[in-house]
Structure 1
Amino acid sequence: MSDPFLIGDTMTGGYGKGPDILHDCTVAVERGEIAVIVGPNGAGKSTAMKAVFGMLDVRAGAVRLDGEDITHLSPQDRVLKGMGFVPQNANIFTSMTVEENLEMGAFIRRDDFSGTMEQVYDLFPILREKRRQPAGELSGGQRQQVAVGRALMTEPKVLMLDEPTAGVSPIVMDELFDRIIEVARTGIPILMVEQNARQALEIADKGYVLVQGRNAHTGTGKELLADEEVRRSFLGG
């Protein structure tokens, strides 16, 4: 069996010299798939995402991208390998215009990136409309679109989103999920941490429920939504 396109394989680790937060935790995503990581607060969801992106020490286990072991690469080198990462907070340059934010996303490109920018504007039409506006003047949902658009400007092989719908209204959440589905349809695998577990599992090809840094349940989105224990413990019945 070959590996999934991106896998954090039986990761154990934590921050600096601190205790382990993850314990034999595995998360993975295939090409064109949406994989979501859900679970209660403090379950290690964002920590698992950061471990895959190289932001904390993986003391056991490995991270592999397209068959290559990248466990010891820096986050910057992982971006060069094709990982796009959108953190939950401080993920845009508020004083720059929307267009300047997108241009910043193309910092590793040496080719003409105008075609990619057009694709981002097609995906997020509101950004084309507001491209001359400072990103700090946008609504929360629009800022998230800028952040995702900026990550797409690197032409990533995989996109990682940490709580993309945090703090937005239900209507904006639905719209963001629609856009995320569109990105996945272009063939880019998406690994995402999401607080809105039920809605995230509804669009997920694969889901991971973490509890205290460990895998508690793994399955397709549909399987987890139908699992009585998962529903009772994590989805409010």
Structure 2
Amino acid sequence: MSADGVAAQPFLAGQEITGGYGRGPDILHGCTIAVNPGEIAVIVGPNGAGKSTAMKALFGMLEVRSGAVLLDGEDITMLSPQDRVRKGMGFVPQVNNIFPSMTVEENLEMGAFIREDDISGTMASVYDLFPILKEKRYQAAGELSGGQRQQVAVGRALMTKPKVLMLDEPTAGVSPIVMDELFDRIIEIARTGLPVLMVEQNARQALAIADRGYVLVQGANAHTGTGKALLADEQVRRSFLGG
């Protein structure tokens, strides 16, 4: 481990990424983000800071003009999102992350589309993690509450048996009670050894469960440290956490 607690070779790393969409201007400016196995790393910052853009850059959804994305030591900067899924990246976008007319179980089965092995064990573990989904497995996913739909989206990503799980604002639009519940499940997922990287608007709550935090401002790293250290940092508290 290095002095700031990052393993010398993180499992997923975006190294000094600069890039943007199409021919548009750069949104990310030398941004570095990494997560190790069994860790929760969170990306926080003000609106328009490039948080979701950084996540999309790691997943191959925008042009990386300089820097690199490494997965388990392999340079995947030029791979398509589909190829990254095959390499083991599970990505849950903030919106349009379920098939509303399909049942819960059909959504989960769709998550396993790249697999050729028996998916029943993974399905059982998703239902163990989210018991309400087992109860509602024959219901159309679009009829569920916001929090339950997010559980379907996360469950679907887990069905690929990913090596890293990426969540873009998993608690957007849910109540504080549902947010706490989702965060508890995310902690459980990380405890299995799976690295979890998430973008979160609820910065204080996200940093409270994070092993590592990245505060982005205008597409660049403003502060990096453990979740605990960032929560205790007066400048971070004053600027980003409301005092």
Pairwise same-fold verdict (TM > 0.5): yes
Paired with 1:8 and 1:78, the residues of 2 have a C-alpha distance of 14
Q: How does 1:81-92 map to 2 (within 5 A)?
A: 81-92=87-98
After superposition, the C-alpha distances for 1:113-169 in whole angstroms (9 at most, x for unaligned) are 000000000000000000000000000000000000000000000000000000000
Q: Displacement, 1:3? A: 1.9
Q: For 1:120 and 1:176, how far apart are their aligned partners in 2?
A: 13
Q: Counterpart of 1:104 in 2: which secondary structure?
A: helix
User: What is the deviation of 1:2?
Assistant: 3.5
| Cα drift, residue 171 of structure 1 | 0.2
Whether 2:79 is the aligned partner of 1:39: answer no
1:131 paired residue number: 137
Structure 1 residue 189 corresponds to structure 2 residue 195:
yes
Match of 2:100 in 1: 94
Residue 3 (structure 1) aligns with? 9
Aligned residue for 1:94, secondary structure, equals coil
Could you give the per-residue CA deviations for residues 8-38 of structure 1, whole angstroms, max 9, x where no partner exists? Answer: 0000000000000000000000000000000
Q: Secondary structure at the match of 1:90?
A: coil
CA–CA separation in structure 2 for the residues paired with 1:101 and 1:125: 15
Q: Distance in 2 between matches of 1:203 and 1:10?
A: 25
Q: Structure 1, residues 156-195: CA drift from partner, whole Å, max 9, x if none?
A: 0000000000000000000000000000001100000000
Separation (CA, whole Å) in 2 of partners of 1:74 and 1:37: 23
SS at 1:42's partner residue? coil
Partner of 1:203: 209
CA distance in 2, matches of 1:39, 1:2: 26
Please list every run of 5 or more consecutive structure 1 residues that lacks an aligned counterpart in the other structure: none
| Counterpart residue number, 1:30 | 36
| Aligned residue among 37, 48, 54 for 2:54 | 48
Q: How does 1:56-67 map to 2 (within 5 A)?
A: 56-67=62-73
Q: 1:112 and 1:35 mapped to 2: Cα distance?
A: 31
Report the Cα distance in structure 2 between the residues aligned to 1:170 and 1:58, rounded to whole angstroms. Answer: 35
Counterparts of residues 79-158 of structure 1 (less than 5 Å): 79-158=85-164
Shift of residue 85, structure 1, vs aligned partner = 0.0
Q: Partner amino acid for 1:134? A: A
| Cα separation, 2, equivalents of 1:121 and 1:185 | 17
Aligned residues: 237
Counterpart Cα distance in 1 of 2:112 and 2:54: 26
CA distance in 1, matches of 2:112, 2:228: 36
Task: Name the structure 2 match of 1:224.
Answer: 230
Show structure 2 runs of 5+ residues with no match: 1-6
Q: Give the aligned partner of residue 219 of structure 2.
A: 213
Distance 2:59 2:15 in 1: 13
- 3-state DSSP of counterpart to 1:11: strand
CA RMSD of aligned residues (A): 0.6
Q: Which residue of 1 aligns with 2:4?
A: none
Identical residues among aligned pairs (%): 84
Supply the distance in 1 between the matched residues of 2:146 and 2:8 (Cα, whole angstroms): 40
Q: TM-score, normalised by structure 2?
A: 0.97
For 1:198, what is the secondary structure of its paired residue? helix
Matches of 2:146 and 2:193 in 1, distance apart?
27
Q: Secondary structure at the match of 1:10?
A: strand
